[in-house]
Amino acid sequence: MKQMIKPWRHVFKLDPDREIDDPALEAVCMSGTDAIMIGGSSGVTFDNTVDLLSRVRRFELPCVLEVSNLEMIVPGFDLYMIPMVLNTADSAWITGQHKQAIEEYGYMIPWDLLVPEGYIILNPDSTVARLTGAQTGLDADGAAAYAQVADKLMSLPIVYVEYSGSFGDMDTVRKIHQSVHGAKVFYGGGIHDPETAAAAAAVCDTIVVGNAVYDDLKQALLTVKAVK
C-alpha cells in the first residue's frame, strides 16, 4: 500500500459530478501522471462514481477513490483514500463517519486497500471547509503541529494540505513538509499551470491537480512535465 503511493509526484483528481468528455479523459490518463484520484465534496454518488471508474479503467494507471461519503463507495479501485479532517471541532469528520461506515459495512471493507489521510484544510472559502467546519485560521506553526499529530501520534501515511480552489501559502506547506518524517505530504489547491505546479512540488511530496482539468486542460496537462 505505502509502496504504491511512495513514488507519486503528480496526481490528477477527477470529480464524478463534473463533465469530462472522452478525448479530455484520454489526454489526462495518458499524460504521464502517476495516478488518478476520483472524489469530490458534493454531488458524488454511486452511479457517477462507477461510471467514471469504468471510463478510467480503459487506461493502465492506478485509480484510487477518495471517500467523502458512504454513498460513493464502489468496488474495483486500487486504493481507497480515507480523509480524517484534523483541524475541525466536529468529530464526525475525524472518526464519526468512519465508525458509522465500519458498523454498516465492516464485514466487506478491504482493509489492506485503505489509506488514511490526515487532512489540513486551509481555504475558508472552499466547499470542503464549510462542509466540515474546518478551523482554517492557522499559522504555519499551527498547521505543522497538526501535521505532526498525523505523522507522529497517529502514524498516518499521508498528510493532505488542502487549499481547494486557491493557491496556498507555500511557506506553510514547506513548514508542514519539514515537520514530518514518516508521512508523505500531498498538496492540493490552485495548481493551474506549470509554474504553480513546480512551486508546490518543491515543498511537498505529491501535487494533486483537480479544477484545472475542467478550467484549462492544456495548462493542466503541462503540470505533469513541470514536476516529473
Q: Is the pLDDT of residue 3 over 80?
A: no
Rounded to a whole number of angstroms, the distance between the first and last alpha carbons of the chain is 22
Q: Are 210 and 201 in contact (CB under 8 A)?
A: no
pTM of the model: 0.94
Q: In the chain, how many domains are there?
A: 1
Residue 164: C-alpha distances to residues 39, 54, 85, 141, 189 (Å): 13, 26, 14, 20, 4
Q: What is the pLDDT of residues 18-70, one digit of tens each?
A: 999 999 999 999 999 999 999 987 788 999 999 999 999 999 999 999 998 88
Q: Average of pLDDT values for 93-103?
A: 90
Query: Structural domain of residue 196, as residue ranges?
Result: 2-227
Q: Which three cell numbers stand for residue 179?
A: 515537520
For residue 13, give the H/E element and its range. Answer: strand 10-14
Residue indicated by cell numbers 509554474: 195
The CATH number for 182's domain is: 3.20.20.390
What letter would DSSP give residue 100?
A: H
User: Quick one: pLDDT at residue 2?
Assistant: 55
Q: What is the pLDDT of residues 166-223, one digit of tens each?
A: 999 999 999 999 999 999 999 999 999 999 999 999 999 999 999 999 999 999 999 9
